[in-house]
């Protein structure tokens, strides 16, 4: 029985990786195993679509190719270069992480999971992504795509502990890089959140939910990925949000400082001065902007 299970798993690995080699996305961060550049790409990809990250990754990789270069840069310059990518605290976190890597790890991104998790802005997903994609460590990388796939394969919602255990167990020995990339591409191209193409999925034979969907033509069958661990929830609308207003202010300061009194105008919050000043105070507290007299500037 154990032998049959092993054979089935080996077949699964071969089929999925074989599909991926034919259908893989050509992404620039897949052409490097440099741990620093892998970390940069993964931080950029947090809650951000691949297409938006592409030009930023290549520009950052050329301008700041090592943690030492990044740590030595002015935060204001990094924030200005980050404009348009969203969630600017990621740039600040990466800057702080680069300093730690330089000072405590001799300029080398650590391989140990706990050391990676100790870096600012690095959570369970990012740490394991660096382990798998930079160092080839056999670990399951669970992003929202992988979390969705595993819940559907199992046919039920999964707890955080379950989803990581299953992801780790599925990684074929010595194939962590290819397997995790294949899982992510499967989720991005076939096993999508909406309108998954089960008919062309290479994992159809062992997917519990896919079998039901194909038999019933969706007939109201609930998606086990809904509210399952690792699967991102629907985000609040961006239009009119604090996130949008903060982004407008940071963009306005990307070339020069501005008067604090002009912050509401920059945020398009002319009729809500109290909200504008609250957001300014939050940005100051987060270290993303600095107040100098009656003016504010990046970093």
**What is the per-residue burial (b if ≥16 Cβ within 10 Å, else e) of 149-185?**
bbbbbbeebbeeebbbebbeebbbeeebbbbbbbbbb
Each of the 299 residues of the chain gets a pLDDT tens digit; together they read 444 445 556 788 999 999 999 999 999 999 999 999 999 999 999 989 999 999 999 999 999 999 999 999 999 999 999 999 989 999 999 999 999 999 999 999 999 999 999 999 999 999 999 999 999 999 999 999 999 999 999 999 999 899 999 999 999 999 999 999 999 999 999 999 988 998 899 998 889 987 766 555 555 678 888 888 767 656 667 787 888 888 888 888 888 888 888 888 888 888 888 888 888 888 888 888 888 888 888 88
Query: Given this structure, which CATH class describes domain 32-135?
Result: mainly alpha
Nearest to 260 by CA among 225, 217, 231, 289: 289
Q: What whole-number distance in Å separates Cα of residue 254 and Cα of residue 258?
A: 10
In this structure, the number of other CB atoms found within 10 A of the CB of residue 64 comes to 23
pLDDT tens digits, 216-266? 555 567 888 888 876 765 666 778 788 888 888 888 888 888 888 888 888
pTM, entire model: 0.85
Q: Give residue limits of the domains in the chain.
A: 32-135, 242-298
Helices (DSSP H) in 30-159: which residue ranges? 35-45, 50-63, 67-72, 75-82, 89-104, 113-117, 124-135, 144-154
CB within 8 A of 70, min separation 6: which ones?
36, 64, 78, 94, 95, 98
Distance (Å, whole) CA 80 – CA 57: 14
DSSP codes, 166-184: HHHHHSPTT-HHHHHHHHH
pLDDT score recorded for residue 271: 85
Q: Which residues pair with 91 in a beta bridge?
A: none
Please state, in angstroms and rounded to a whole number, the distance separating the CA atoms of residues 227 and 246.
29
Contacts of 20 (CB under 8 A, 6+ apart): 178, 181, 182, 185, 186
DSSP type of residue 290: E
Residue of 42, 62, 239, 286 marked active site? 42
CB-based contacts of 165, cutoff 8 Å, min separation 6? none
Q: Check residue 44 and give its pLDDT.
A: 97
- The strand order across the sheet containing 295-298 reads 258-259, 295-298, 289-292
**In the beta sheet, which residues pair with residue 259?**
295
Q: Which residues of 264-289 are buried (b: 16+ CB within 10 A; e: fewer)?
A: bebbebeeeeeebeebbeebeeeebb
Amino acid 257: pLDDT:
85
Question: Could you confirm whether 239 is annotated as catalytic?
Answer: no
Tokens of 207: 């997917």
Predicted local confidence at residue 2, as pLDDT: 40
What is the dotted CATH code of the domain comprising 242-298?
A: 1.10.10
């Amino acid at each position: 029985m154990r032998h049959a299970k092993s054979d089935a798993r080996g077949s699964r690995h071969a089929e999925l990786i074989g599909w991926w080699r034919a259908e893989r996305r050509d992404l620039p961060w897949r052409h490097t195993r440099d741990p620093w550049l892998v970390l940069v790409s993964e931080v950029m990809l947090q809650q951000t679509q691949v297409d938006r990250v592409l030009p930023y990754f290549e520009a950052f990789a050329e301008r700041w190719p090592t943690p030492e270069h990044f740590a030595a840069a002015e935060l204001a310059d990094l924030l200005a270069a980050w404009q348009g990518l969203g969630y600017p605290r990621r740039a600040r976190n990466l800057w702080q992480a680069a300093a730690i890597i330089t000072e405590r790890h001799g300029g080398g991104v650590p391989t140990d999971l706990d050391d990676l998790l100790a870096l600012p802005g690095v959570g369970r997903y990012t740490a394991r992504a660096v382990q798998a994609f930079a160092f080839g460590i056999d670990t399951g990388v669970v992003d929202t795509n992988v979390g969705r796939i595993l819940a559907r394969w199992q046919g039920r919602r999964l707890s955080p502990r379950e989803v990581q255990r299953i992801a780790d167990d599925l990684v074929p020995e010595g194939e962590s890089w290819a397997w995790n990339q294949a899982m992510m591409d499967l989720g991005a191209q076939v096993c999508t959140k909406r309108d998954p193409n089960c008919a062309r999925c290479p994992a159809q034979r062992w997917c519990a939910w896919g079998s039901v969907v194909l038999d019933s033509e969706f007939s109201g069958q609930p998606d086990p990925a809904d509210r399952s661990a690792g699967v991102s929830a629907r985000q609040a609308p961006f239009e009119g949000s604090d996130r949008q207003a903060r982004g407008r202010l940071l963009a306005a300061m990307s070339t020069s400082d501005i008067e604090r009194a002009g912050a509401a105008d920059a945020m398009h919050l002319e009729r809500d001065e109290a909200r504008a000043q609250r957001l300014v105070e939050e940005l100051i507290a987060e270290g993303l902007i600095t107040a100098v007299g009656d003016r504010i500037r990046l970093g």
